[in-house]
Amino acid sequence: MEVNDNIEPTYYNSRYRHGVDEKRRVQIPAKWRPSKPGTELTLVLWPKAKEGACLRVLPPSQMAKLMKDIDVMSNSDPNKVVLKRLIGGESVQATLDKSGRICLPEDMAMAAGISDTAVLVGLLDNFEIWAPERHEQLKASDAVMAPEAFRLME
C-alpha cells in the first residue's frame, strides 16, 4: 500500500479489465492513482514459471522496499547481482498522463503478451498488469493453491 500525503493509504485491491489503445496506454483505476501528480510508478517485467510474464507496477514506497531488500542480501550471494540486473534491466519508470493512463513500453507489453486488452490485478501494496489469457491461467493456478495459502493466515 502506498501512503499518500493525505495520510490515507492506497490499497490496490480488486480486478479491472481495460482496453489498451494503439499507443499501448492503459487506464489506471482512479482509486489506484497516486495523489501527487508526477509520481513515478515502476513497471517491472515479472517472470512467472507457468503462466508467463506480467508487468508488476510498484509505487515509490514498494520500489524503495524492493531495493532495500536486495541491498541487505549478502554481496557473496550470486542471486543479488542477478536480481539487480534483471530488475534494473527489465523495469522502467512511468507517470500517469492527464487522463490517468500509463504507457506500456512495446518490448515489455510484447513479453507480457499484452496487446489490446489488459487485466489489472490488485496485490494490496502494488498491482500487476496481465494479458487476459495468462490471467485466466493464473486464476486457475491460484484456485488450486488458495486453501494452502489461506492456512498461512490461521
pLDDT of 106 above 90: yes
Q: What average pLDDT does the structure give for the chain?
A: 92
Residue type, 49: A
pLDDT of 1 above 60: no
The pLDDT tens digits of the residues spanning 19-73 come to: 999 999 999 999 999 988 899 999 999 987 689 999 999 999 999 999 999 999 9
Q: Are 23 and 138 in contact (CB under 8 A)?
A: no
What pTM was computed for the model?
Answer: 0.89
Phi and psi at 127, nearest 5°, equal -145, 165
Domain boundaries, the chain: 2-60+92-151
Structural class in CATH, domain 2-60+92-151 = alpha beta
Contacts of residue 40, Cβ cutoff 8 Å, sequence gap at least 6: 60, 93, 94, 95
